[in-house]
Each structure stands twice: as C-alpha cells, then as structure tokens.
Amino acid sequence: MDMRLTGRVAVVTGASKGIGLAVTRALLAEGAKVVAASRTAGPELTALTGPDLVHEAVDLMDPEAPARTVARAVREFGGLDILVNNAGGPPPGVDLPRDSFFDASDEDWRAMFEFNLFSAVRTVRAAIPHMLSGGGGSIVNVSSANARQPSQINVDYGAAKAAMNNLTKALSEEFGPQGIRVNTVSPGPVLTPWWTDPGGVADRLAGRVGTDRTGVLDKLVPETMRLTTGRLADPEEIADVVVLLASPRSASTTGAEFTVDSGFVKAV
C-alpha cells in the first residue's frame, strides 16, 4: 500500500533506538524526509543517514530544544508535515520500574513530566505554525498503555502519559478544522533497548526473581502482564501504526488512540 508520504517532511523525537528508530526507518522507506532528534545518533540511526535524513543532536529536557529541532526541519527540507512525539520513558538518570509510589520524589515527578509531556507540548507549539502555513499536517503522540492501565511501579510515568492522551484530544479538537490531525499510539511492553540492553529492565527483574533475561522476556512478563499474544511487541509493529496515522490515507482519523499492547489493556 502506498502511504502517499513521498517528499513529506517529518520530525521524529527519540529517534536513535527502539520505537523511534523503527518509525524513522519506516518513514524513510515510504519516501519521507526525516529530521531524527535524539541526544546521540547511535550506529543504527547513523547507518540511515543520507539526503533524506538528518540527525539533530538535542536533549529534549532543554526547553529550547524542540524549537531548534522544528527549525532544522524547515531549514533543511522547506517545511513540516509530520511530527512524531516519541521521546519518552525514564528521563536521564532515572530507572524504572520503581517499587512503590513513595519511591518518586517531587523532582522525579517533575523530570518525568518534563521528558514525557512538556517536551511534546513544546515541540507541538513549534510545529503547528509551520503545518498551518503548509496547509495541514499530522501529529502522532506516542503514549503508553499505562496511561489507561495504572501501575504503582510506574505511577509518575503513567500519569504523564495519561496527560499526553488528554493533550492529543484537545489538540485534535482545536486544530482538526484547520487541517492538522492529532492521534495517539499507546504501546504496551515492546522489545526496545530499555528492556533488552544489558542492565536493562529484563536483567533487573531477572535478578529479583532468580531467572535470566530470556526467562523474563519470554515467560515472566507475558504471564504477569497477561499479554493475550503471549509476547512483547516488536518496535516495527508500533511504527507501522504510526506511519499509517501520519499518512493521508488516515485523513478522517483524528483524536483517536490506537493501542498496540499485545492485549495488555483488558478494559472496554
């Protein structure tokens, strides 16, 4: 299926690995031009560098970074059609999961909201004027199944992502009539480096329960999270939904949440 993205200009935040890398790769494959924003590029993103991809080295905890990233897209490619707010998860220096609500201080909460919500707010604020001047666009906010399935071990993260879902709805109502669609993709557990890297969540959980990384990923997590599919999702499965929502083929889809969570969320 042709996604009709050839020549369209996209910004993807958190693009160096995991879901962001998969989204960047998928957009390039569809002919889009991409500004990939992350603190560092990493070897996999660097391997994609070419005339249709530039890396913007930014720390999105910096309030000025979102505007610089959008400006880079306009400067390099002449405009902006697509924004994928993917940057999120634990802020630098923070480890998840926690053991309790009481493990997160005020500063931890501020950092979590800064990274997972305010960075997206600022990027949207910078992006929308360019989208309006170009006749419209698509914003896809990557949230989390924890926005609707609360967890005491990730309480500050889930609260920030719930706010992201609310933001998506509000933006879609205000700017939909002006040609800007805004949607949310909410992943469940995904085989990203946050889980799979040495010392990552899988290793930390393995140390707590007396198993190994493979046992955590293949058995413990699917069983304890009651994943209907019996496995964590691949980043490419999230990217496919993001690209479809970015595409003009989703022209009548706005203000929607697409959950790609292996059946984690059970509520209607």
pLDDT per residue over 15-64, tens digit each?
A: 999 999 999 999 999 999 999 999 999 999 999 999 999 999 999 999 99
Question: In this model, does residue 94 exceed pLDDT 90?
Answer: no
- Tens of pLDDT along 169-194? 999 999 999 999 999 999 999 999 98
Looking at residue 111, what is its pLDDT? 96
| pLDDT tier at 126, thresholds 50, 70, 90 | very high
Residue 95, pLDDT above cutoff 90: no
Greater confidence (56 vs 100) lies with 56
Give yes or no for a contact between 112 and 163, defined as CB atoms under 8 angstroms apart: no
Q: Please answer whether residues 229 and 263 qualify as being in contact, where contact means their C-beta atoms are separated by less than 8 angstroms.
A: yes
Structure tokens at 29: 């494959």
The verdict on 119 and 195 lying in the same domain is no
pLDDT at residue 92, rounded to an integer: 86
The overall average pLDDT reported for the chain is 96
Measured in whole angstroms, the distance separating CA 4 from the mean position of its chain's CA atoms is: 22
Judgement on whether residues 168 and 200 belong to the same structural domain of the protein = no
Q: Is residue 70 part of a domain?
A: yes
Residues 127 and 221 in one domain: no
* 51: containing domain: 9-190+237-259
Instruction: Work out whether the CA dihedral 59, 64, 66, 68 comes out positive or negative.
Output: negative
Residues 50 and 165 in one domain: yes
Q: For the chain, what is the HEC assignment?
A: CCCCCCCCEEEEECCCCHHHHHHHHHHHHCCCEEEEEECCCHHHHHCCCECCEEEEECCCCCCCHHHHHHHHHHHHHCCCCEEEECCCCCCCCCCCCCCCHHHCCHHHHHHHHHHHHHHHHHHHHHHHHHHHHCCCEEEEEECCHHHCCCCHHHHHHHHHHHHHHHHHHHHHHHHHHHCEEEEEEEECCECCHHHHCCCCHHHHHHHHHCCCHHHHHHHHHHHHCCCCCCCCECHHHHHHHHHHHHCHHHCCCCCCEEEECCCCCCCC
Residue 93 pLDDT exceeds 90 = no
pLDDT at 4: 97
- The answer to whether position 266 is within a domain reads no
pLDDT at 11: 98
Asked if residue 153 and residue 195 are part of one domain, the reply reads: no
Q: Residue 268: its pLDDT value, please?
A: 83
| pLDDT tens sequence across 201-250 | 899 889 888 999 999 999 999 999 999 999 999 999 999 999 999 999 99
pLDDT at 163 over 90: yes
CB under 8 Å, gap of 24 or more: what pairs does 241-244 form?
A: 241/185, 242/19, 242/23, 242/26, 242/84, 242/86, 242/140, 242/142, 242/185, 243/3, 243/5, 243/23, 243/26, 243/27, 243/30, 244/3
pLDDT value of residue 10:
98
Q: Is residue 265 part of a domain?
A: no
Residue 135, Cβ neighbours under 10 Å: how many? 11
Same domain, 20 and 86: yes
Q: In this structure, are 99 and 49 located in the same domain?
A: yes
Q: Please tell me which residue in 77, 115, 157, 258 is annotated as part of the active site.
A: 157
Distance, CA of 14 to CA of 19 (rounded, Å): 8
**CB neighbours of residue 211 within 10 Å:** 15
What's the number of domains the chain is made of?
2
Q: What is the pLDDT of residue 253?
A: 98
Catalytic site includes residue 205: no
* Residue 153 pLDDT class (50, 70, 90 cuts): confident
Are 164 and 92 contained in the same domain?
yes
| Whether residues 152 and 227 fall in one domain | no
Residues 156 and 212 in one domain: no
pLDDT of 8: 98
Is 98's pLDDT higher than 90? no
